[in-house]
Amino acid sequence: MSRKGSDFAGLSVAIVTPFKDGEVDYDTLNAQVDFQIEAGTKCLVPVGTTGESPTLSHEEHERVISAVVQAAAGRAKVMAGTGSNSTAEAIRLTKWAAKEGSDAGLLVAPYYNKPTQEGFYQHFKAISEAVDIPLCVYNIPGRTGKNIEPETIARLAELTNITMVKEATGQMDQASQILGTTDLTLLSGDDSMTLPYLSVGGEGIISVVGNIIPKDMIVLLDAFNAGDARTACELHHKLFTLCRDLLGLATNPIPIKAAMQLLGRDTGDLRLPMTALDDQGLKALQATLTEYGLL
């Protein structure tokens, strides 16, 4: 079946927000945008979880969105993270992203206040009615404390500009139900789940590991889409340990920022309450990067 968000299929990368001396480093941010576009990344996703959006001020959040749109300059799509547990704030941020030229908005489920399923529906419905750009519902109960049930996502799929779901529950049954009952494009929210989700009808990934190896993720996606399941499976297993450690050694984005620092692509600076990877984690990460061939 034709899915209404298929123009965002493929590799999207949830880019980090680089900091230097406590401030957003816009020169490095621009360099990271260029790195992704040169690698063939289809869509850039700033100010999501990986972009440390919870620690950015509202002004910084807006400026990072604007900077990425300007740096991309139409060479790749931009799906800005504009979600919030306040519906009014999510509307404001999504309107800003639309005004600045973002191609879509990534809307995380309201966190901490744990709305009912009807609350989830009304939240996303209000945002969809306030803007015209495509919207991606981001379901990550491990962060937000509550699952958006497949039946609620099916209701949301009836809204014209809700076109995608970023699925980060790790539940294949949920992904299958969403794909079987809606025309939404499903994007994996976990790098290690990319191939499993593709196998049931998913169309891409919003990637963390893509910050350092976007070309390898693209090769996996291309192999699957070409019908070369054997190569896709081999790449999945090659990528697995790296994907696991970048999300498992510590809370995202601590490991990916440490990896980028080791590879000379970021200062590795984080904002509290995020703290640097400890010595044990750093040794494990170095070993994983070395085994993969990056160090």
> Which CATH number does the domain housing residue 20 bear?
3.20.20.70
Whether residue 43 is contained in a domain is answered as yes
Closest by CA position to 45, among listed 280, 214, 175: 214
pTM score above 0.85? yes
Q: Residue 45's beta-bridge partner residues?
A: 14
Q: Are strands 23-24 and 19-20 parallel, antiparallel or unpaired?
A: antiparallel
pLDDT given at position 280: 97
Whether residue 25 is contained in a domain is answered as yes
Looking at the 3D structure of the chain, how many domains does it have?
1
Cβ neighbours for 110, distance < 8 A, ≥ 6 positions apart: 83, 84, 85, 86, 87, 119, 120, 123, 144
Whether residue 289 is contained in a domain is answered as no
Encoded tokens for 139: 């379901």
Angle between helix 254-262 and 279-292 (nearest 10): 60
Cβ neighbours for 136, distance < 8 A, ≥ 6 positions apart: 5, 8, 79, 104, 105, 106, 107, 162, 163, 164, 165, 166, 187
Angle between helix 117-130 and 87-100 (nearest 10): 30
Whether residue 176 is contained in a domain is answered as yes
Are residues 10 and 258 in contact, defined by beta-carbon separation less than 8 angstroms? no
Active-site annotation, residues:
138, 166
Residues 198-231 have pLDDT tens digits of 999 999 999 999 999 999 999 999 999 999 999 9
Which domain does 61 fall in, by range? 6-226
d(C-alpha 73, C-alpha 267), whole Å: 25
| Mean pLDDT per 10-residue interval, the chain, length 295 residues | 90 98 97 98 97 96 98 98 97 98 98 97 98 98 96 98 97 97 97 97 98 98 97 97 94 97 96 96 97 96
Residues 98-115 have pLDDT tens digits of 999 999 999 999 999 999
Distances (CA, A) of 171 to 45, 149, 175, 196: 23, 11, 6, 10
d(C-alpha 203, C-alpha 54), whole Å: 28
* Dihedral angle computed from the Cα positions of residues 65, 266, 167 and 38, in that order, rounded to the nearest 10 degrees: 70
